[in-house]
Amino acid sequence: MPEPRQVGQRSEAELIARLEARHGATSPVVRQGIGDDSAVLTLPPKSLASIDSCVEGRHFDPGRMGWADIGWRAVSTALSDLAAMGGRPLVHLLAINMPASLREDDFTSLVDGLAEAAEHSASVLVGGNLGAAEAVSITTTVIGQASRPVGRTGGQVGDRLVVSGTLGLAALGREAILFGGVASEAARQAFLRPEPAWGAAALFSAGGASAMIDVTDGLALDLSRLLHPGASGADLRREALVAALGGDQSADLERALYGGDDYCLVAAVPESAWPKLQAEFSAKRLSLSSIGQLSREPGLRLDGQEIRVAGYDHFGGRRP
């Protein structure tokens, strides 16, 4: 059999053409996309912009994950920052650095995963950059729009804390995929193919959520980012956090609080808005759980007992 081709045997123009061919969607906000020095866009009011990176050896392990899944995660996790503001995606840009020795088939799978995630979230690729590096890294810049952007620090004492999705499910899947273990297919897919919570984001934004964030680094750490001098604490309920995931309630609680990679939304909601919001989530068959409330007393507490603020930190160590 012939040796597999490597990306270093292709020109940059050929690799860009492959990306462009796979990302064929268009958008009314795009006047000029791939092929020029800059994209030319006509953006609506209250546009949102964010950027995120996925680095081999830090965020993904190609020895245990497929390249299509790696591509999906790179785009979807970046787009989730738009959902965290109550927005929706418009366009994105990709900067891909990789070794010349990367197999061409692996690059094709990566491109497929990038495109599948973009198609799933209706985001259009408008440009980016390819470069050589010792390891693969993917940086995604996302641009979106929100009718009412929801920030992190608008929550008030007494606001109800609610979560879309299942906390800890992705952590269970991550453990099985990266370290070996037993997990359901739903748990594995929650880690490999996270989906930004677009439906929940729209309902939270329109329904009066006062603060919001996506759960990427673990509930405890991300929830601490919603706290501010006007509402500097949160009281959580254990029974609302423990889902029947792995059969061990203590481990499930640890995953829910500190696991991360959930890409669901945690929002602060005024009590007056809660009944209608709950009904709207139910009508659309979207998951919604009430897990506690914001308080004046500083710190995070679970059933009245203080808990540590910890989670995934790029520079302060990995997940506990």
Span 10-52, pLDDT tens digits: 888 888 888 888 887 788 999 988 888 999 999 999 999 999 9
The torsion angles phi and psi of 190, rounded to 5 degrees, stand at -60, -35
pLDDT tens string 247-262? 678 888 999 999 999 9
Lowest average pLDDT, out of 16-25, 49-58, 219-228, goes to 16-25
Residue 1: per-residue pLDDT? 54
pLDDT tens string 84-131? 999 999 999 999 999 999 999 999 999 999 999 999 999 999 999 999
Same domain, 17 and 137: yes
pLDDT tens string 273-317? 999 999 999 999 999 999 999 999 999 999 999 998 887 766 665
| Beta-carbon count within 10 A of 204 CB | 32
Same domain, 169 and 104: no
The parent domain of residue 79 ranges over 7-145
Same domain, 166 and 302: yes
CA distances to 44, 47, 90, 232, 269 from 147, in Å? 10, 9, 13, 28, 18
Question: Is the residue at 311 inside a domain?
Answer: no
Q: Band of the pLDDT at 319, cuts 50, 70, 90? A: very low
Question: Is the residue at 15 inside a domain?
Answer: yes
Cβ neighbours for 205, distance < 8 A, ≥ 6 positions apart: 86, 87, 146, 147, 148, 149, 150
Question: Is the residue at 88 inside a domain?
Answer: yes
> Domain with 198 in it: what CATH number?
3.90.650.10
Question: Is the residue at 154 inside a domain?
Answer: no
Same domain, 111 and 196: no
Same domain, 215 and 287: yes
Same domain, 139 and 191: no
> Domain with 99 in it: what CATH number?
3.30.1330.10
CA distances to 181, 198, 255 from 89, in Å? 35, 9, 29
Q: Report how many domains make up the chain.
A: 2
Same domain, 32 and 166: no
Dihedral over alpha carbons 255, 267, 117, 146 (to 10 degrees): -170
pLDDT tens string 125-180? 999 999 999 999 999 999 999 999 999 999 999 999 999 989 999 999 999 998 88
Same domain, 165 and 292: yes
Question: Is the residue at 222 inside a domain?
Answer: yes
Same domain, 167 and 255: yes
Question: Is the residue at 129 inside a domain?
Answer: yes
Question: Is the residue at 318 inside a domain?
Answer: no
Contact, 287 vs 240, CB < 8 A? no
Q: Which residue would you say has higher pLDDT here, 185 or 249?
A: 185
